[in-house]
Amino acid sequence: MKKLPIGFYKRENVVLIAKEILGKIVITTINGIITSGRIVETEAYAARADKASHAYGGRRTNRNEPMYAEAGTKYVYICYGMHTMLNVVTNNIDVPDAILIRALHPLVGVDEMLQRTGKRTLDNTLTKGPGNLAKAMGITKAHNGLSFKNNSISIFSDGFVLPHSQIINSPRIGVAGAGEDALLPYRFYVKGDTFVSGSKKSNKEGIADESFP
């Protein structure tokens, strides 16, 4: 188990990183309790040019300030007044690229995750979707702006590399307001994993082009 080096995040192609981070493992240690899960769904948000991004047009506010920080910073914000979203900041300082972690396949600490989410039994909703996974993993706004260099929440590789045939590419979820940019194929997920979010329709079978991005 190796923690991803900052160099992994500090690259210029956020779409490529969103694809490569699939299969990596998020581990949180909150109050001494360890929970972990494998990343099975992500979305890339491409800095200033992307209408779906909080940083579109170079917008810079108190909320999205961490997007402009150094690679490997966490951008955590509340959506719809009640859901916590975990993003990984990539690229150089002042370039507001970020990756939304949309789903995990739970590995360690399922009992704790059930407790945090108030669920009775393990089913595919435990860590399906960004709001659910943050809740299950104990991620809160208190982690906003912190680095993945820290041990409390970090991302690791266990050496497993997804075969290309298992990666599917699609438009992003919930960004209809972004005009033509809503169609950009910036979402990646693991084929057939039951913890992947989205409707059957948005998950129409297909496979990521090997040469994309």
Partner DNA sequence: CCGGGGATTATCT
Partner DNA sequence: GATAATCCCCGGC
Binding region for DNA (CB under 7 A): 43, 45, 52-55, 59, 61-64, 67, 75, 77-83, 85, 87, 98, 100, 117, 125, 128-133, 141, 172-175, 177, 197, 199-201
Q: How far is the CB of 91 from DNA (least distance, A)?
A: 13
Residue type at position 151: N
Q: How many angstroms from the chain centroid is the CA of residue 113?
A: 18
Nearer to DNA, 64 or 154 (CB): 64
Contact 100, 129 (CB under 8 A): no
Contact 103, 133 (CB under 8 A): yes
Q: How far is the CB of 150 from DNA (least distance, A)?
A: 20
Distance CA 59, CA 185 (A): 23
Q: How far is the CB of 24 from DNA (least distance, A)?
A: 17
Beta bridge partners of residue 34, listed in sequence order? 29
Nearer to DNA, 161 or 200 (CB): 200
Q: How far is the CB of 8 from DNA (least distance, A)?
A: 18
Q: How far is the CB of 111 from DNA (least distance, A)?
A: 17
Q: What are phi and psi of 48, to 5 degrees?
A: -75, -25
Please name the residues in contact with 109: beta carbons below 8 A apart, sequence gap of 6 or more. 33, 34, 35, 36
Contact 160, 154 (CB under 8 A): no
Q: How far is the CB of 149 from DNA (least distance, A)?
A: 20
Distance CA 57, CA 37 (A): 34
Nearer to DNA, 1 or 82 (CB): 82
Biggest alpha carbon–alpha carbon distance for the chain: 45
Nearer to DNA, 63 or 164 (CB): 63
Contact 167, 19 (CB under 8 A): yes
Nearer to DNA, 17 or 98 (CB): 98
Beta strand pairing call for 167-170 and 153-157: unpaired
Nearer to DNA, 141 or 164 (CB): 141
